[in-house]
Chain A
Amino acid sequence: MPASEAAAVAAHPEPRGLVAWLTTTDHKRIGLLYLWSALIFFVAGGVMSLLMRAELAQPGLQLLERETYNQLFTMHGTAMIFFFATPVAVGLANYLVPLQIGAPDVAYPRLNALTFWLFLAGALTAFSGFLTASGAAAVGWTGYAPLSESTYSPGAGVDLWIIGLLLSGMASILGAVNFLATIFGMRAPGMTMFRVPIFTWNIVAISVLILFSFPVLTAALAALFVDRNFGGHFFDPSQGGNPVLWQHLFWFFGHPEVYIVILPFFGVVSEIVPVFSRKPLFGYKGFVFATLLITAYSFSVWAHHMFTTGAVSSLFFATTSFLIAIPTGVKFFNWIATMWRGKLTFEAPMLFCAGFLFMFLIGGISGVFLASPPIDYAVHDTYYVVAHMHYVLFGGTTFAAFAALYFWIPKFSGRLMGEGLARVHFVLMLVGMNLAFFPMHQLGLDGMQRRVPDYPESSGYGDLNMLSTVGAFLIAVSVVVFAVNFAVSMRRGRSAGGDPWGGYSLEWATTSPPPHHNFESLPPVRSERPVYDARTGDA
């Protein structure tokens, strides 16, 4: 968008009202729509997990029928992965990427709006399975064939799940194209790629991952739909199909998806830690190269999810899975080195970053164990895997997502969040998450299978399950504390000003919230910290 046109548009008042939100093409409003939707699905997924944890607190079936339990864990995983973790990152990217590169909007604003509405249509379609006679999909978020074939899972739930994921996958692909076009084509003068903020670099990485992995998921889902509805036999072994092919296709998407979910939050932490350490990020270029290495490596590790099929090379996938720990370790080293001898302060964003480091480290270490085939054979499909993925995906993304919200809500709204309630939120969430997920390691090692609604009393799993359930409800209380804090802060919070934290990147060079097309003027960009340079007179 030429600067003259942007200036002309900036002079127009911002449209208000419901219709204005439904028809908006402004990247900031679309970002907020993504964030609100993601948080609603987070609550929906969370309620499902509370129901499951309540059922598992004691041996025996007390609350749920088996079929209902199956639907709940399927839609819980689907909601958290596809409709919370991914869109919350996309929402942050929508709001922040144009600001961080000094652009007035994304390259294709209407395409951006289309991606949001496609995502929402997909999510609602997948969830609409609950309204059908046979209920929602009950095949796990991984949808393994032949369980997901119509022979074993009749009814519309799985079909709606497939159509929903196809729609939201289409949204992801279009969004990735838009982000790449924006970041490559609309950077402010002076902002070379090696001056782009790390968060934006991570959005480049996940856009590449999406472009290469989501089409594979789309193809797999289309093939499954053909199997179910049009007499296909791609994955049905009784008709000559191959269920292991589904696992290949799903995990060829599914493992990069883990990085699509987590990389933006690596970017979030890399934005926040330097600001609250009063230092530049240690090893900026090393960080970028580590991100690119993770991007490349992530395409060659998918079958570590399939060791127990016996149909893949354990040697190859164990080696590549160990390898990917190296660039991840580089990032940890960079974060710690950034904090080393910094003038650290622990406002809410930094507290949640510290929580992220702690939780993700535990998840990363248990992941290294799972990359070893002999250990994986022993604990495959047990609660050990559930513990690992929740430390990585829930501990990682949720702590970093709340760090991001505490850091950037003042930019979105112009008001600071309350620090006291934020600390209560942090403590409850940290304690709750470790109570909920740490016992699952032991449950898995003791042999408790995942995706079961019941276990025998003689198994001895009862105490650890009760502990885990208490932890899950503590997490729920912590989220309520956040909601109260948000509601109070938006009414009575202190004014944030343009730059409440002493930030480094360009979003802190404009007002809070920013005007319609973001900037009245831009500081010169001569390093990866242009706002710091302008503040200290280094520019």
Chain B
Amino acid sequence: MPEELRGPAGVALYVAVATVVYWLVSDEIAGTLLLVFLFVAAVALVLLGLALRRPGVDPALEIEEEPVVTVSPWPLLGAAAAMLVGLGLLYGPWLWIPGAALGAGSAYGWITQTDA
């Protein structure tokens, strides 16, 4: 196993044991489910890591490197869009309109930006 994946694999192994022990000593459903969630998440991370390292892997799964950009306004505008959408949940959906517009503009600018 690649050394990068030993950490999540160790978490999965430990949590598998802890889940069984916890269920047996407590018979308590909420905590047991949380541990099961953690086990599934850790195993999923390990499997994803193994899939990305396998020879002949689907190129779509490979991590693409970003183009070299030294400045970009899109992260700042994207965060502002996320804040507007979040505040729209509280103050009314009308905030989603500028939030969505800013978010869409940021996403488009982000994707199409190739250089500073």
Contact = CB atoms under 8 A, between A and B. Distances in A.
Are A and B genuine complex partners? yes
Contacts of B82: 118, 121, 167, 170
A271 B90 CA distance: 45
A25 B25 contact: no
A404 to B, nearest CB: 23
Contact of B78 (A114, A120, A159): A114
Interface residues of B, number: 47
Interface in A251-302: 252, 292, 295-297, 299-300, 302
Contacts of B41: 211-212
Interface stretch (A103-111, A331-339, A497-505): A103-111
B75 A216 contact: no
B18 A300 contact: yes
A20 B71 contact: yes
Nearest to A164: B86
B interface secondary structure, majority: helix
B30 A300 contact: no
Nearest to A247: B30
A24 to B, nearest CB: 6
A245 to B, nearest CB: 6
26 contacts: A1-B65, A6-B68, A14-B70, A15-B70, A22-B73, A24-B71, A25-B71, A107-B65, A109-B66, A110-B72, A110-B75, A111-B66, A121-B83, A122-B83, A125-B87, A167-B79, A184-B4, A185-B63, A193-B3, A205-B7, A208-B7, A208-B11, A212-B42, A292-B10, A312-B26, A312-B28
A192 B8 CA distance: 18
A114 B86 contact: no
Given A22-B76, A212-B11, A248 B90 contact: no
Contacts of A193: 3-4
B9 to A, nearest CB: 10
A5 interface: yes
Nearest to A249: B34
Interface of A: 1-2, 5-6, 8-9, 12, 14-15, 20, 22-26, 107-111, 113-114, 116-118, 120-122, 125, 156, 159-160, 163, 166-167, 170, 181, 184-185, 192-194, 204-205, 208, 211-212, 216, 225, 229, 244-245, 248-249, 252, 292, 295-297, 299-300, 302-303, 311-313, 315-316, 320, 516
Given A117-B78, A117-B79, 10 more contacts: A15-B70, A24-B71, A25-B69, A110-B66, A125-B86, A184-B4, A248-B31, A292-B10, A299-B38, A316-B25
A159 B90 contact: yes
B34 A216 contact: yes
Contact of A23 (B3, B15, B71): B71
Contacts of A311: 28
B62 to A, nearest CB: 11
B7 A194 contact: no
A170 to B, nearest CB: 7
B90 A229 contact: yes
